[in-house]
Amino acid sequence: MAVKGANVPVYYNSLYRHGVDAKRRVQIPAKWRPAEKGFEFTLIVWPKSAHGTCLRVLPPEQMAKLMRDIDAMSNDDPNKVVLKRFIGSESIQVALDSAGRICIPEAMSKAAGVENEAMLVGLLDRFEVWSPVRYEMASKADRGMAGAAFKMME
């Protein structure tokens, strides 16, 4: 989880709909913004949804965990180099500007279908950026699976 200030954790929760300006900048909710200067999120084109690509946004500690998880894979596993190549070529570090926005590179914006509006979806320890249309489809599917998912917590 991201750390905001002195031992105050940041949880990426809730759902936000924000406009995207002509330079592809999108506002990050104030509660999700890091307190420290020089903090960079990693944006990754995330093709895992059946409802289309979104952008997965990782704070530094989650990116470091992802790297540890990939490095822990066997060097004989062909998926290891595929993941490294894909994530390495389909990700970028972005910092907040003085207005609390991140700029989404054009190719990433196109891949995720993010144009005039973006849905910022909290995943507790990270968040995603979706096109509103794709998110609506993914959300409907999530609601259909929620009962089974919550049973895992019992």
pLDDT tens digits, 82-129: 999 999 999 999 999 999 999 999 999 999 999 999 999 999 999 999
Are the C-beta atoms of 3 and 10 separated by less than 8 Å?
Answer: yes
Determine the pLDDT at residue 154: 76
Determine the pLDDT at residue 4: 53
| Cβ neighbours around 105 below 10 Å, total | 14
Give dist(CA 115, CA 33) in Å, integer: 22
Determine the pLDDT at residue 79: 93
Q: Domain limits of the chain?
A: 2-151
Are the C-beta atoms of 117 and 109 separated by less than 8 Å?
Answer: no
**Tens digits of residue pLDDT in 2-14:** 545 556 778 999 9
pTM here is 0.88
Mention the CATH class of domain 2-151. Answer: alpha beta
Local structure of residue 10 (DSSP, 8 states): E
